[in-house]
Amino acid sequence: MDAITHLRSIEELVKMLDREKLLFKDMFERRKSLSYRMDYALEIVDYKHERIQYLIDHGVIHENGDFLEMEEVYVEFFEDVLDMNEEISVTSVKEYIDAIKENITYYLEENNETRKQQYQGNVRKILRKIGLRTLKNIIDLKRNVDTAYKQEPNYKIKKARLNNLDDKRKRIKTLIVECEKMMEREMLFFRLSADPDMQRTCQDVRNDFTEADHNLIEIERQIIDYINQIEQQSLLLKKIRKLKYLKDQLTWREESSVARILEERNPLWMEKRPYNRFLLSINMLRSSDEAHELIRKIAQSNNIRQLSRTNADPLDEAFLSEDVVEEHGVNITEMWNAFKAQGSHLFTFIRNYPYREARTTGQHVILYCQMATQHSDELRFTDEYETFDNIEYALIYAK
pLDDT band at 313 (very low <50, low <70, confident <90, very high): confident
Report the alpha-carbon distance of residue 42 to residue 45 in Å, rounded: 5
Q: How do residues 17-35 score in pLDDT, each as one tens digit?
A: 888 888 888 888 887 776 7
pLDDT of residue 334: 83
3 pLDDT exceeds 50?
Answer: no
Mean pLDDT to the nearest integer, 39-52:
84
CB 398 within 8 Å of CB 348: no
Fold of 3-81: Arc Repressor Mutant, subunit A (1.10.10)
229 pLDDT exceeds 50?
Answer: yes
| Out of 115-124, 130-139, 307-316, least confident range | 307-316
CB 107 within 8 Å of CB 198: no
Report the alpha-carbon distance of residue 135 to residue 215 in Å, rounded: 9
pLDDT of residue 326: 64
Of 385 and 330, the structure prediction assigns the larger pLDDT to 385
Q: How do residues 345-378 score in pLDDT, each as one tens digit?
A: 888 888 888 888 888 888 888 888 888 888 888 8
Q: Pinpoint the alpha helices (H) of the chain.
A: 3-6, 10-19, 21-29, 38-44, 49-57, 72-81, 91-109, 113-151, 155-185, 187-193, 196-248, 252-255, 258-264, 282-287, 289-301, 317-320, 332-340, 346-352, 361-374
How many percent of the chain have pLDDT more than 90? 1
Chain CA centroid to CA 262, Å: 49
324 pLDDT exceeds 70?
Answer: no
Mean pLDDT to the nearest integer, 286-311:
75
